[in-house]
Amino acid sequence: MSFENGRGAGEDPAVVAAPMRWDGWGDPARAEPLPFAVRSLLPLLLGRIRRPAPAPALEDVRLEPSAFTVRDADAFAALLGAPHVRTDAEARIRHAGGRSTLDLLRRRDAFQVAPDAVLLPGSHDEVVACLRLAAERDMAVIPFGGGTSVVGALDPERGTHRCVVSLDLGRLSGLLRYDAVSAEAVLAAGTTGPEAERLLAAHGMELGHYPQSFRYATVGGFAAARSSGQNSAGNGRFEGMVTGIRVATPTGDLALGRAPGSAAGPDLIRLFLGSEGILGVITEVTVRVHPRPDERVLESWTFPDFATGVDALRRVAQHGGGPTVIRLSDEAETGVSLAQVGRIGKALAKGASAVTVFEGEDVVARRARTGALLRAAGGTSLGEGAAEDWLRTRFDGPYLRDALLDAGVFCETLETATTWSRLSGLRDAVTTALKTGFADAGRKVFVMCHVSHVYPTGASLYFTLLAPLGSDPLDAWTEIKHAVGDAIMAAGGTISHHHAVGRDHAPWLAEEIGETGIRILAAVKRELDPHGIMNPGAVIGAATPVPGSAAGV
Amino acid sequence: MSFENGRGAGEDPAVVAAPMRWDGWGDPARAEPLPFAVRSLLPLLLGRIRRPAPAPALEDVRLEPSAFTVRDADAFAALLGAPHVRTDAEARIRHAGGRSTLDLLRRRDAFQVAPDAVLLPGSHDEVVACLRLAAERDMAVIPFGGGTSVVGALDPERGTHRCVVSLDLGRLSGLLRYDAVSAEAVLAAGTTGPEAERLLAAHGMELGHYPQSFRYATVGGFAAARSSGQNSAGNGRFEGMVTGIRVATPTGDLALGRAPGSAAGPDLIRLFLGSEGILGVITEVTVRVHPRPDERVLESWTFPDFATGVDALRRVAQHGGGPTVIRLSDEAETGVSLAQVGRIGKALAKGASAVTVFEGEDVVARRARTGALLRAAGGTSLGEGAAEDWLRTRFDGPYLRDALLDAGVFCETLETATTWSRLSGLRDAVTTALKTGFADAGRKVFVMCHVSHVYPTGASLYFTLLAPLGSDPLDAWTEIKHAVGDAIMAAGGTISHHHAVGRDHAPWLAEEIGETGIRILAAVKRELDPHGIMNPGAVIGAATPVPGSAAGV
């Protein structure tokens, strides 16, 4: 999410956050009303906005009775201990979904859909036992890490099964092994981003993976969703950090990763990265780590327009300037960000602002190299200010979204990626689809875009949009999002650069990887999960296997 | 192969080589007797060596009659044109295997096993049509690129089928699309390394993938075998260069790769990289390319011993010194290399020599950074000499092997990789297995080792061994190689860092990826290739599907 201003919690990545609020983002103590600057800006962008009815309190939410029986509870309690088998309303509601705007809107309903129970295994072997028992007892299993999916990967979909349970991996936490010589660490899948950094910092090391969900998301979730962090220019995507995984499936385990480079058949690790729980549960992740950076240099830039900035970022990505972070906001996002910090000005608001951060070794030389490329491509250095603001508040965007929803503003993000040569066409296609969609729904919309991940051959595009909430935001957005997905496909983009597929993007995966690609994933699922209990409906959607169509567990 | 001295063909990567000799490596015009230096050295290393009987001429080789009928030939000729359906002995013998030492020994037999026919499709659609027709007519299909496999991936194994055909992709050659803005190129799978570099050089670009097989291997082969080139420290493994692939399978096509970064489900490209033709045929590969380097700096180093050198390379890999090439020979390999160029000396021969090459941007700064790390870790710079020798002759090792075989010397290579912390134990385990194996067979052996690919968390080990050929080299080596495979597994190594699996390594893949891993690959194969016609016996060995066990084509 890019609407990134507001109060910063400070930026120490090793500070573990308070438990997530049940109906919004993050630390409940940090929820607060819209900042004055944003409140002043909204009528200019969207006209008059109606405040929605207040959301219910947790204790007022109504759920269907749980289909998880006392006999089910006894069977799982025998495996996990009774405290680790939860059927109370609070546990069920807290596992009812992720943190997309649709999820948050659903948390504002009086009647909600939730899993029938929450299981909390404490070890790989307990995960294995849970999967076996769930298959025996005809239950769908939704693996649950930090609960930060924004693509519906945590929807409590039972498919054809008798009930659905959330498998919360929070108890699988910790640094299981650390190899100082190889700079490699084995982390339990439920370890959160901050906890991983805290444990590694004790060895002087950093993982350095900072998606916006960082404070709550887990290492297993990073893996399962093919995550990419804000430092991707320097540290790479999460999949590039992974050197090994351990996986429990309903019909067998995997332990993969003997060497950082191998030609021992296809890299099966990559088949589980991005599988979002449809094939099994990632229980351990081996990652390469690096020394904690002791130097950091920041520099902000402005470009006459977004297109000029994109071309400048391309040169940096292709010529190896070496930033750890490089991101570029379009004119709309630049203007709003400046307004938020009270620095709005006609000249600056017309341009596109960029942030560069350099961490680790040779930061001065790398800044000089990157700066020379950006300057030659039309950029003007603005010093450290805006980059400092960004760094301080970089995990805070979602807090603002909650305040916007309270104020009656629909705020959502979506993202894609493609090659450099298709990037401008992709941005136009998405913007048009969004504007047309909201216009057809009779609403204003304000669309912002940034580039936050660059590669030698292409880049990501991240869109943030604001619109009046209206009376039917779920239906309206579902329809608009459909048009956007079609537009992304037609323009040659990927349906997701780093949010993953979940259920929300499943309808476009078949177009992206083709019918043959879906058949491959369905065949693997059928082999590992013959009863189709693992996260039914996610990723490959309706291509999930028919129960009983293959050998039993 | 690391026994790297001899005459160099010059090092311009864009020089396309003459067609490969049928019974050995490379350009037939370059075959010549053992250099004097090597001839003098051999008795010191291996004692008295008996010259083997002369090998047969091509026209004297006897084959089984082809099981490919006139009706088969007519059916394929209707698809491909008669000149592209070959059943003559020369075509069959030239597609009878790869270029492992076992392959070359088999080429010295009077009676040889070869595919029943060779098909030469000219387009992706013709590949598709060939696969359909082969399935209909109950034929196994062995995809054939440059014919350089050293792991038995090209063995003409028919499995349970009526006959076996080699599918030669040599006519699928060329630069199909070039996107200058995105620095991305689409190459037909049969394009050889030099041809790809020649075509890209016309745009001022380089792929920069230089395995020792470079002059003959193809882009599709690089992909299918998860290749790694000599410039991997700078340019990465081939799988990291691939941004897209097009694949023909017996039951459907795939076109993958919309963006350089994606979270659209698991990365299915990676399922085909390393699949060695068991799932289908890669017909096009999209790769990222970079400007041709206009600067190059070389520096050779010596270390007191191999262990000190390994530690030095680790520091470079973990601290980002930035070499394009970095490799370290152990004391045995160092001594032999020096002897070959007449520079043997007691002091130097005791040490371990290393080569560094820097290409592209900032070469001076990168050499300084790398040099400082190597020096601090106990290295002594020796200037450019040895690095120049290496660079000039880096594709020539296999020529020397042919001369050794003619002289009665068995020369073979094998390779593995693991984490830095396990590297020394892995080297000891492999060396012990080799020495014990040859001792049990009553033969001397001389074992050399080098590190040629480094990563932050680990490195590869590449072994070259020399032994008297003896009377039963195939059986003896098969047995010793088995013990080496077991030793690699026990020591935590991968069964291959870059030679791939083929048939020779298939027995260890189940240990490396587990029974569940094999089940996954078999399930994908069953889905895409229900009749099991694609390269039967390769990669997953006996786990290939039973014909008719899944839905037909």
Q: In CATH, what number is assigned to the domain containing residue B303?
A: 3.30.70.3450
Position A251 scores a pLDDT of 98
- Best interface-test mutation with A: which of B361, B366, B419, B427 has the largest number of A CBs within 10 A? B419
% of chain A exceeding 90 in pLDDT: 84
Of B179, B262, B496, which has the smallest distance from its Cβ to A497's Cβ? B262
Position B434 scores a pLDDT of 98
CA–CA separation, A514 vs B254, rounded Å?
Answer: 7
In this prediction the ipTM stands at 0.95
- The closest of A484, A498, A12 to A211, measured between CA atoms, is A498
pLDDT tens digits along B388-404: 989 988 998 899 999 99
Put simply, the answer to whether B243 touches A457 (Cβ < 8 Å) is yes
Of A183, A264, A513, which has the smallest distance from its Cβ to B512's Cβ? A264
Position A342 scores a pLDDT of 57
Angle between helices B473-490 and B506-528 (to 10 degrees): 90
Boundary residue ending a domain (B345, B369, B392): B392
> Is the Cβ–Cβ distance between B78 and B29 less than 8 Å?
no
Kindly state whether residues A380 and A324 are assigned to the same domain: yes
Boundary residue ending a domain (B136, B168, B200): B168
pLDDT tens digits along A281-340: 999 999 999 999 999 999 999 999 999 999 999 999 998 779 999 999 999 999 888 776
**Which DSSP state fits B50?**
P
Put simply, the answer to whether A256 touches B495 (Cβ < 8 Å) is no
Kindly state whether residues A251 and A194 are assigned to the same domain: yes
Position A545 scores a pLDDT of 45
Kindly state whether residues A246 and A380 are assigned to the same domain: no
Q: Is B520 on the interface with A (CB under 8 A)?
A: yes
% of chain B exceeding 70 in pLDDT: 94
Beta strands in B347-408 (DSSP E): 352-359, 380-383
- Give me A491's structure tokens: 């323009």
Going from the C-alpha of B522 to that of each of A48, A549, B207, B485, the distances in angstroms are 60, 17, 33, 22
> Is the Cβ–Cβ distance between B97 and B17 less than 8 Å?
no
- The closest of A27, A1, A19, A22 to A107, measured between CA atoms, is A22
Lowest mean pLDDT among A82-96, A213-227, B37-51: B37-51
% of chain A exceeding 70 in pLDDT: 94
Of B251, B252, B264, which has the smallest distance from its Cβ to A495's Cβ? B264
Q: Write down the mean pLDDT value for chain B.
A: 93
Kindly state whether residues B211 and B307 are assigned to the same domain: no
Put simply, the answer to whether B527 touches A528 (Cβ < 8 Å) is no
- Give me B4's structure tokens: 């790297």
Put simply, the answer to whether B271 touches A520 (Cβ < 8 Å) is yes
CA–CA separation, A522 vs A507, rounded Å?
Answer: 15
- pLDDT beyond 70 at A347: no
Residue A355's beta-bridge partner residues?
A300, A327
How confident is residue B268, by pLDDT bands cut at 50, 70 and 90?
very high
Handedness of CA B399, B405, B407, B410 (dihedral sign): positive
| Length in residues, chain A | 553
Of B259, B457, B492, which has the smallest distance from its Cβ to A183's Cβ? B457
Q: Is A231 on the interface with B (CB under 8 A)?
A: no
- Give me A389's structure tokens: 């603001």
Alpha helices (H) in A301-353, listed in sequence order: 306-319, 331-340, 346-349
Boundary residue ending a domain (A168, A202, A223): A168
Q: Is A114 on the interface with B (CB under 8 A)?
A: no
Put simply, the answer to whether A290 touches B184 (Cβ < 8 Å) is no
Kindly state whether residues A463 and A420 are assigned to the same domain: yes
CA–CA separation, B43 vs B41, rounded Å?
Answer: 6
The CATH number of the domain holding residue B265 is: 3.30.465.10
Angle between helices A473-490 and A420-440 (to 10 degrees): 150
Put simply, the answer to whether A521 touches B419 (Cβ < 8 Å) is no
> Is the Cβ–Cβ distance between B499 and B150 less than 8 Å?
yes
Going from the C-alpha of B547 to that of each of A14, B140, B276, B345, B529, the distances in angstroms are 55, 11, 20, 61, 9
Of A456, A498, A516, which has the smallest distance from its Cβ to B252's Cβ? A516
Position B340 scores a pLDDT of 66
Kindly state whether residues B530 and B515 are assigned to the same domain: yes
- Give me A355's structure tokens: 């942030």
pLDDT tens digits along B104-144: 999 999 999 999 999 999 999 999 999 999 999 999 999 99
How confident is residue B18, by pLDDT bands cut at 50, 70 and 90?
confident
The residues, any chain, with a CB within 8 Å of residue B487's CB and separated by 6 or more, are B429, B430, B432, B433
Return the higher-pLDDT residue of B529 and A548.
B529
Q: Is B334 on the interface with A (CB under 8 A)?
A: no
Assess if residue B88 is contained within a domain: yes
pLDDT tens digits along B442-457: 999 999 999 999 999 9
Position A389 scores a pLDDT of 87
Per CB-CB distance under 8 Å, the chain A contacts of B258 are 417-418, 492-494, 512
Q: Is A460 on the interface with B (CB under 8 A)?
A: yes
How confident is residue A346, by pLDDT bands cut at 50, 70 and 90?
very low
- pLDDT beyond 60 at A5: no
Lowest mean pLDDT among A243-257, A389-403, A481-495, B172-186: A389-403
CA–CA separation, B498 vs B494, rounded Å?
Answer: 10
The CATH number of the domain holding residue A382 is: 3.40.462.40
Kindly state whether residues A456 and A385 are assigned to the same domain: yes
Kindly state whether residues A283 and A406 are assigned to the same domain: no
- pLDDT beyond 80 at B76: yes
The residues, any chain, with a CB within 8 Å of residue B229's CB and separated by 6 or more, are B208, B209, B210, B211, B214, B235, B237, B238
- Give me A453's structure tokens: 């991940």
Q: Average of pLDDT values for B277-296? A: 97
Q: Average of pLDDT values for A153-177? A: 98
Nearest CA in chain A to B259: A418
Per CB-CB distance under 8 Å, the chain A contacts of B179 are 419, 421
Q: Is A551 on the interface with B (CB under 8 A)?
A: no
Put simply, the answer to whether A274 touches B254 (Cβ < 8 Å) is no
Kindly state whether residues A326 and A434 are assigned to the same domain: yes
Position B349 scores a pLDDT of 58
CA–CA separation, B528 vs B522, rounded Å?
Answer: 10
> Is the Cβ–Cβ distance between A333 and A449 less than 8 Å?
yes
Assess if residue B26 is contained within a domain: no
CA–CA separation, A292 vs A390, rounded Å?
Answer: 20
Residue that is written with structure tokens 């509601």 in the block:
A93
Nearest CA in chain A to B318: A290
The residues, any chain, with a CB within 8 Å of residue B151's CB and separated by 6 or more, are B98, B100, B496, B499, B500, B501, B502, B503, B504, B505
Position B547 scores a pLDDT of 39
Kindly state whether residues A321 and A461 are assigned to the same domain: yes
CA–CA separation, B81 vs B384, rounded Å?
Answer: 53
Put simply, the answer to whether B267 touches A239 (Cβ < 8 Å) is yes
Put simply, the answer to whether B420 touches A516 (Cβ < 8 Å) is no
How confident is residue B25, by pLDDT bands cut at 50, 70 and 90?
very high
Euclidean distance between the first and the last CA atom of chain A, given in angstroms as a whole number: 41
CA–CA separation, B110 vs B90, rounded Å?
Answer: 14
Per CB-CB distance under 8 Å, the chain B contacts of A227 are 263
Number of domains in chain B: 4
How confident is residue B337, by pLDDT bands cut at 50, 70 and 90?
confident
User: What is the gyration radius of the CA atoms in chain A, in angstroms?
Assistant: 23
Position A13 scores a pLDDT of 84
Per CB-CB distance under 8 Å, the chain A contacts of B522 are 527
The CATH number of the domain holding residue B98 is: 3.30.43.10
Of A320, A419, A514, which has the smallest distance from its Cβ to B254's Cβ? A514
Angle between helices A331-340 and A36-46 (to 10 degrees): 140
pLDDT tens digits along A31-89: 888 988 888 889 989 998 999 988 899 999 999 999 999 999 999 999 999 999 999 99
Kindly state whether residues A407 and A527 are assigned to the same domain: no
Position A512 scores a pLDDT of 98
Of B179, B227, B516, which has the smallest distance from its Cβ to A419's Cβ? B179
Of A253, A509, A520, which has the smallest distance from its Cβ to B516's Cβ? A253
The residues, any chain, with a CB within 8 Å of residue A469's CB and separated by 6 or more, are A49, A50, A52, A405, A408, A409, A410
Per CB-CB distance under 8 Å, the chain A contacts of B361 are 319-320
Position B10 scores a pLDDT of 53
Angle at the Cα of A49 from the Cα atoms of A47 and A53, rounded to 5 degrees: 170
Put simply, the answer to whether B273 touches A259 (Cβ < 8 Å) is no
Position B343 scores a pLDDT of 55
Of B259, B318, B416, which has the smallest distance from its Cβ to A497's Cβ? B259
Assess if residue A231 is contained within a domain: yes
- pLDDT beyond 60 at B354: yes
How confident is residue B17, by pLDDT bands cut at 50, 70 and 90?
confident
Assess if residue B421 is contained within a domain: no
Position B36 scores a pLDDT of 87
Q: Is B388 on the interface with A (CB under 8 A)?
A: no
Assess if residue B427 is contained within a domain: no
CA–CA separation, B60 vs B458, rounded Å?
Answer: 48
Assess if residue A28 is contained within a domain: no
CA–CA separation, A276 vs A279, rounded Å?
Answer: 8
Q: Write down the mean pLDDT value for chain A.
A: 93
- Counting Cβ atoms within 10 Å, is residue B248 exposed (0-12), middle (13-18) or buried (19+)? buried
Residue that is written with structure tokens 């999209």 in the block:
B286
- Give me B13's structure tokens: 């990567």
Kindly state whether residues B88 and B142 are assigned to the same domain: yes
Position A332 scores a pLDDT of 94
HSE-CB of A108 using CA atoms within 13 angstroms? 20
Position A35 scores a pLDDT of 87
Give the count of Cβ contacts less than 8 A between chain A and B: 294
* Structural domain that includes position B516: 506-543
- pLDDT beyond 90 at B215: yes
Put simply, the answer to whether A517 touches B362 (Cβ < 8 Å) is no
- Counting Cβ atoms within 10 Å, is residue B391 exposed (0-12), middle (13-18) or buried (19+)? middle
- The closest of B146, B147, B223 to B190, measured between CA atoms, is B146
- pLDDT beyond 50 at B209: yes
Residue A328's beta-bridge partner residues?
A354, A451
Q: How far is B232 from chain A (nearest CA, A)?
A: 10
pTM of whole model > 0.90?
A: yes
A residues 462-501 closer than 8 Å to B (CB): 492-501
Assess if residue A24 is contained within a domain: no
Assess if residue A320 is contained within a domain: yes
Going from the C-alpha of B269 to that of each of B125, B223, B261, the distances in angstroms are 20, 10, 12
Buried/exposed A416-435: b ≥16 CB within 10 Å, e otherwise: bbbbbbbbbebbebbbebbb
